[in-house]
Structure 1
């Protein structure tokens, strides 16, 4: 059995293979990649970030599939996993990945590095590296707290720092500079050993050549796939009341694949097919995967962008910060987001388009439009109901869920 449920995680190591650099991809599954910038044998000391204990509250958790990535080492394994990923995407839209090639110690180290972005950089220096999101449509740099409007005049209490997969694209705060080789290695590992295998499975699920989606996600191409370190801070009782405990409204990501390194503070929820919000359970050293708008465009609606939100944690975790480590993947900037019409699956089931092909944006236009508008634009109540609000980005309707 290649999909298991919580409690049955396989501990086997992931096999390693060589991989060519640049935009080229080795044929078949690649489960290891050696970064071009290797961390030194003696890594810089950083303070250890201690996560709070996992919640003991009884929560209504989503029943997500767990995909064992070590099974992707042969063609038959990929066929089996592709069917499981396809089913997961059509039901919950989220799934876990285990045996992804990073040890618990390596994952822990990345959370330590992530916290340096916030605890190790003074406010004045953060302002120097603040992203001009509305003006440039780029998240590279800091998103400060209270930049986004949540609801009823309440602004967010989270900050994040975004680093292009090419860590040399921009300058970084002084405290992060000695850590860039490790961040580079992390980006390359997630891109080649996690993202690419997922894209291969999704391509197989569409009955396309295995490299079809991989070839749209070059590591050295022009684009904004990035590592994100994110930290949520506790809010006031008044803010919780005015937003009904919602920290980030229900939304879809705008890229193709989001990779979230699981952490123990419960706050993430997904909107189920029954219209109910379900919590995402923390699994130690697992990854949480979901598809975004760009994947929905490319798959003609076959792989749907998943609606998710962030809410106030349960009572036993409420006074803690919530630190996150993400990899937000997008296609190369020049890829037009139209259905992959050569897919035999799409030819059989048909396409669901969010706009006509002639009006479809490319990845650059879509990411710039979504980044500039998020949390800044005036949302209008949708005709579908008072709990759904809408905005229009490049002629495409984007919905937000209260």
Structure 2
């Protein structure tokens, strides 16, 4: 498949109108705001490296501004993101459904009711996933004219957002600047991908059964997750004090968090951050929640062993020895195939996540993976 360059006059598509912002006074997490424009000077870059290091170690989440996309470009990407859902019928969606269990890849649709949440309740989330190489799979008819834009969106995120953040994280560990970018090649074999994700409202009965949790607390399995901020309040992070706090919407900002692969590669210096999705506050119920993501992962052949850093303490709770460390390909396939499909074992979560939290576990490729309720 040959993909043309993006046109100066992109194809017309319906405009997605997001929900109004939440009216409630919510307990928002106090996150750092990283201005990538400061990368332009050596002094600015040095200051940012400290900010990013501290934000990732203390909260595991931060915002990014001046990332290279204008508000109009971001708005257009939300219009594009809605097309695989509003512009494709159920029969065609089935044709392009992903085979997560068989392939360990999310490419294609993850349709509703696929993930088990709790007490027999399954999810009301659809997502459509495109590898940064958009030619790897065929796509629904309505999506095909948009592939040049989606490809450029992936490239923008990989080279102009992911790579600068990885350089700052490496400097924060006193490692050579390209330590992490060298194993996140844009043209390498790997599964970094753009995800469009749409949450649909659930019944009151389902909300009661799950305690209003739409996706249990978890860590992402890649290295860095890039989320384009949107107004529906639903994302929460587990703060260092053991409390769930909401993520505030900042127009045209990115929300960045670390995943397990970065934890493994950094020897626990940066941790995969626990987060969940819950029912929005009353003022936003009844609206859909459209998400635009870029999930970054190391190249498939990278073995997830820690880089030795002069500032990194001994990784006392490391998940595996160097000899047993999986490659990124093995890690992502195991996590993708298992998520929402395995029976989880309940354990005492008080010591891990604070009183009143439940913790469930599964073992994937010999590694204990935790989920938080």
Instruction: Structure 2: state its 5+ residue gaps.
Output: 351-356
1:123-162 correspondence runs (5 A):
123-162=90-129
1:52 and 2:23 equivalent? no
- Identify which of 356, 365, 368 aligns with 1:394: 365
What do the CA deviations read for 1:125-179 (whole angstroms, capped 9, x no partner)? 1001000001110000000000000001100000000000011111100001000
**Which residue number corresponds to residue 119 of structure 1?**
86
**Which residue number corresponds to residue 354 of structure 2?**
none
CA contact (8 A) 2:348 2:358 kept: no
1:345 match: secondary structure? coil
1:43-82 correspondence runs (5 A):
43-82=10-49
- Identify which of 318, 337, 351 aligns with 2:315: 351
1:303: Cα distance to partner?
Answer: 0.4
CA contact (8 A) 1:37 1:185 kept: no
What do the CA deviations read for 1:157-209 (whole angstroms, capped 9, x no partner)? 00000000011111100001000000011010111100000000001001111
CA contact (8 A) 1:388 1:401 kept: yes
**Which residue number corresponds to residue 10 of structure 1?**
none
**Which residue number corresponds to residue 371 of structure 1?**
336
1:37: Cα distance to partner?
Answer: 5.2
**Which residue number corresponds to residue 231 of structure 1?**
198
2:92 match: secondary structure? helix
CA contact (8 A) 1:269 1:278 kept: yes
1:356: Cα distance to partner?
Answer: 1.2
What do the CA deviations read for 1:211-238 (whole angstroms, capped 9, x no partner)? 1100000011111000000000000000
**Which residue number corresponds to residue 159 of structure 2?**
192
- RMSD value, Cα: 1.0
1:201-350 correspondence runs (5 A):
201-341=168-308, 343-346=309-312, 349-350=313-314
TM-score in terms of structure 1 length? 0.89
- Matched residues in 2 for 1:103 and 1:251: separation? 31
- Matched residues in 1 for 2:62 and 2:348: separation? 31
What do the CA deviations read for 1:339-363 (whole angstroms, capped 9, x no partner)? 102x2222xx222411111111110
1:76: Cα distance to partner?
Answer: 2.1
CA contact (8 A) 2:226 2:294 kept: yes
1:293: Cα distance to partner?
Answer: 0.3
Instruction: Structure 1: state its 5+ residue gaps.
Output: 1-35
What do the CA deviations read for 1:21-40 (whole angstroms, capped 9, x no partner)? xxxxxxxxxxxxxxx95311
What do the CA deviations read for 1:292-331 (whole angstroms, capped 9, x no partner)? 0000000000100000000000001000000000000000
1:383: Cα distance to partner?
Answer: 4.0
- Matched residues in 1 for 2:73 and 2:256: separation? 19
